Amino acid sequence: METDVLIVGGSAAGLMAGITARKHYPEKKVTIVRKEDKVLIPCGIPYTLHTVDGPENNIIPDEAATGKDIELIINEVVEIDKENKNVKLKNGELIKYEKLVLGIGSSPFLPPIKGANLENVYTVKKDFELLKEMRNKVKENKEIVIIGGGFIGVEFADEIRKNDDTNVTIIEILDNVLSLVCDDILCEKAENKLRENGVNVLTESKVIEIVGDQKAEKVKLESGKEISADVVIIATGVNPNTELASEAGLDSNSKKGILVDEYMRTSDPDIFACGDCVEKPSYFGENFQAAWLASIATNEGRVVGANLYNLRRKKQKSIGIFSTIVDDLALGVAGLTKKQAENAGIEVVEGHAEAINRHPGSMPGAQLLGVSLIFQKYDGIIIGAQVYGADTAGEFLNILGLAIEKQMTAEDLATLQVGTHPALTASPVPYQLINAAEDAVIKLNS
Q: Say which CATH number the domain at 55 has.
A: 3.50.50.60
46 lies in some domain: yes
Within 8 A by CB and 6+ apart from 28, the residues are 4, 5, 21, 98, 308, 309
Q: Which residues of 4-30 are buried (b: 16+ CB within 10 A; e: fewer)?
A: bbbbbbbbbbbbbbbbbbbebbeeebb
79 lies in some domain: yes
Q: Reduced to 3 states, what is the DSSP secondary structure of residue 351? A: strand
Angle between helix 393-405 and 432-445 (nearest 10): 40
396 lies in some domain: yes
316 lies in some domain: no
Same domain as 279, residue 267: yes
Same domain as 256, residue 181: no
What is the mean predicted confidence (pLDDT) over 339-364?
A: 95
Say how many domains are in the chain.
3
Cα of first residue to Cα of last residue in the chain, in angstroms, is 69
pLDDT of residue 254: 85
Same domain as 282, residue 246: yes
314 lies in some domain: no
pLDDT of residue 291: 80
Q: Reduced to 3 states, what is the DSSP secondary structure of residue 212? A: coil
Same domain as 437, residue 330: yes
pLDDT of residue 290: 79
312 lies in some domain: no
What single letter denotes the amino acid at residue 145? V
Same domain as 179, residue 256: no
**Chain-wide mean pLDDT for the chain?**
96
Same domain as 398, residue 435: yes
Give 314-325 pLDDT, tens digit per residue. 998 999 999 999
Give 210-265 pLDDT, tens digit per residue. 999 999 999 999 999 999 999 999 999 999 999 999 999 999 998 899 999 999 99
315 lies in some domain: no
DSSP 252-275: EETTTEE---TTSB-SSTTEEE-G
What CATH number does residue 383 fall under?
Answer: 3.30.390.30
What is the mean predicted confidence (pLDDT) over 50-58?
A: 95
55 lies in some domain: yes
What's the domain range around 293?
5-107+238-307
| pLDDT at residue 164 is higher than 90 | no
Pick from 193, 227, 190: nearest CA to 208: 227
Same domain as 431, residue 331: yes
Give 429-440 pLDDT, tens digit per residue. 999 999 999 999
| pLDDT at residue 446 is higher than 90 | no
Give 269-296 pLDDT, tens digit per residue. 999 999 999 999 999 988 888 788 899 9
Same domain as 187, residue 139: yes
